[in-house]
C-alpha cells in the first residue's frame, strides 16, 4: 500500500514548526512517531498536503520530575518510558501502559504525545492520563497553554488542540506516598488495540482508605472515558470486596462500548467490570508497598 504524495518539511525549532503549521493550514500535519499516521496514509484514509517532521527538534523528548510534576516531552518514545528508571520505580501505571502498546518496533518510534494527540479512544495513554489527572501543554503561535486532561478529548479523533498547536509536554502531578497504579488491558493478541482496558491510579491514607483515585477506560466509547462515579464510590473507603464491587459496577456503567470484531458491547462492559476489580487490587497492592 502506497501513501499519497505530500510536501515534506523539517523544521529545526518549535516556533518554526508552529509557523509552518499555520502557514500550510488545515491539511498540514505533524509527523512525530508516525505509527498511527503513516498506516492511515497507506490506507489513504489520511491525505495531508504537508508533513511537518518534528523529530529533529531538540528538547522535546525527556522524562523528569520538576516543580511537583512528572514532565514527559511530547516526542518521548514509548520505548523510552519503558526503559526509564524513574518510570519503573515510581510510575507503575505508565510502565504497565507503555509495555502493552503495540509491539517493540512500534514502541521504538511511537511517541507519548502522538498517542494522546491522535484522539483515538482505542489508544492506551488517554485512559492512563485520565487516571493520573494529567495536564497537556500545547504550544502555538501565542506560546504555551495548559489543558486539563478532562478537557482534552473532544470526540473521536478530535482533541482540544487547535490546528496551529503542537502537544509538547504532558504533566503528571507527582503522586504522594502510598500511591499506586495499574493498567489492565485485554487484547486479542500482542499488537492489537484493547478489547477493553482499565487504568487505575490511587492514593491510600494512613489507615488504608482511598484518599485519591482516578479511573480511565480504553476503547469503550467515542472518547476515552473517565469513570467518575466509580471514583466517587471509592473515595474515603477501604478497598473491601463490596467497595471494589460497587466501583467496578460503576465503571462498567460508565462504559459505552459498541459491538465489533473484538466482541459484543455487553462483553466489553463485563470486561470493564472485571478489569476494574483487578486493576484496583493491583494498584492498592502497589500503593501499600
Give the interface with another protein as residue ranges (CB under 8 A).
1-8, 31, 34-35, 38-39, 41-44, 51, 53, 55, 79, 102-106, 108-109, 186, 188-192, 195, 261-264, 266-267, 270-271, 273-275, 277-278
User: C-alpha grid cell for residue 215?
Assistant: 479511573
Q: Half-sphere exposure of residue 169, counting CA atoms within 13 Å on the CB side? A: 21
Q: Least distance to another protein from the beta carbon of 281, Å?
A: 12
Of 176 and 191, which CB lies nearer to another protein in the complex structure? 191
Q: How far is the CB of 223 from another protein (least distance, A)?
A: 21
Phi, psi (deg, nearest 5) at residue 44: 60, 30
Closest by Cα among 192, 216, 231 to 128: 216
CB of 277 to another protein, least distance (A): 8
Q: Residue 93 Cβ, how far from another protein at the closest point, in Å?
A: 19
Task: Please write down the long-range contacts of 226-229, taking CB distance under 8 Å and 24 or more positions apart.
Answer: 226/130, 226/131, 226/150, 226/254, 227/251, 227/254, 227/255, 227/276, 228/254, 229/253, 229/254
Residue 264 or 288: the one with the smaller Cβ distance to another protein is: 264
Place of cell 484514509: 45
- Measured from the CB atom, the residue of 253 and 274 that comes closer to another protein is 274
In terms of DSSP bridges, do strands 50-53 and 28-31 run parallel, antiparallel, or are they unpaired?
parallel
Q: Is 70 or 102 the residue whose CB approaches another protein more closely?
A: 102
Pick 135 or 195: Cβ nearer another protein: 195
Rounded least distance, CB 35 to another protein, Å: 6
Query: CA 251, CA 242: separation in Å to the nearest integer?
Result: 14
DSSP track, 202-261? EEE-TTSBEEEEEEEEESSSSS-EE-HHHHHHHTT-B--HHHHHHHHHHHHHH-----BT
Report in angstroms the alpha-carbon separations of 15 from 1, 47, 54: 34, 24, 11
Q: How far is the CB of 255 from another protein (least distance, A)?
A: 15
Q: How far is the CB of 55 from another protein (least distance, A)?
A: 7
For another protein, the closer of residues 121 and 133 by Cβ is 121
- What are the residue ranges of helices labelled H in the chain? 14-24, 37-42, 78-83, 85-90, 92-99, 104-109, 112-117, 125-132, 228-234, 241-254, 265-288
Q: What is the nearest approach in angstroms of another protein to the Cβ of residue 5?
A: 5
Nearer to another protein, 2 or 177 (CB): 2
Question: Other CB atoms closer than 10 Å to residue 137's CB: what's the count?
Answer: 20
Residue with smaller CB distance to another protein, 103 or 205: 103
Amino acid at each position: 500500500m502506497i501513501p499519497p504524495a505530500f510536501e515534506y518539511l523539517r523544521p529545526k525549532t518549535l516556533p518554526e514548526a508552529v509557523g509552518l503549521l499555520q502557514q500550510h493550514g488545515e491539511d498540514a500535519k505533524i509527523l512525530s512517531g508516525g505509527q498511527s499516521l503513516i498506516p492511515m496514509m497507506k490506507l489513504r484514509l489520511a491525505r495531508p498536503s504537508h508533513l511537518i517532521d518534528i523529530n529533529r527538534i531538540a528538547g522535546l523528548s525527556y522524562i523528569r520530575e520538576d516543580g511537583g510534576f512528572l514532565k514527559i516531552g511530547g516526542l518521548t518514545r514509548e520505548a523510552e518510558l519503558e526503559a526509564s528508571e524513574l518510570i519503573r520505580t515510581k510510575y507503575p501505571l505508565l510502565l504497565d501502559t507503555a509495555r502493552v502498546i503495540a509491539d517493540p518496533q512500534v514502541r521504538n518510534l511511537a511517541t507519548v504525545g502522538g498517542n494522546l494527540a491522535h484522539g483515538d479512544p482505542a489508544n492506551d495513554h488517554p485512559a492512563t492520563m485520565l487516571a493520573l489527572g494529567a495536564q497537556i501543554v500545547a504550544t502555538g503561535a501565542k506560546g504555551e497553554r495548559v489543558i486539563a486532561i478532562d478537557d482534552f478529548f473532544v470526540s473521536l479523533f478530535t482533541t482540544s488542540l487547535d490546528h496551529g498547536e503542537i502537544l509538547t509536554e504532558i504533566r503528571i502531578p507527582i503522586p504522594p506516598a502510598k500511591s499506586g497504579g495499574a493498567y489492565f488491558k485485554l487484547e486479542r493478541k500482542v499488537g492489537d488495540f484493547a478489547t477493553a482496558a482499565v487504568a487505575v491510579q490511587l492514593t491510600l491514607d494512613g489507615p488504608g482508605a482511598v484518599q485519591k483515585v482516578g479511573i480511565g477506560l480504553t476503547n469503550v466509547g467515542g472518547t476515552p472515558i473517565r469513570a467518575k462515579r466509580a471514583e466517587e464510590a471509592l473515595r474515603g473507603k477501604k478497598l473491601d470486596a463490596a467497595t471494589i464491587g460497587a466501583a467496578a459496577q460503576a465503571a462498567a456503567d460508565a462504559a459505552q462500548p459498541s459491538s465489533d470484531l473484538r466482541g459484543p458491547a455487553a462483553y466489553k462492559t463485563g470486561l470493564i467490570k472485571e478489569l476494574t476489580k483487578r486493576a484496583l487490587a493491583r494498584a492498592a497492592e502497589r500503593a501499600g508497598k
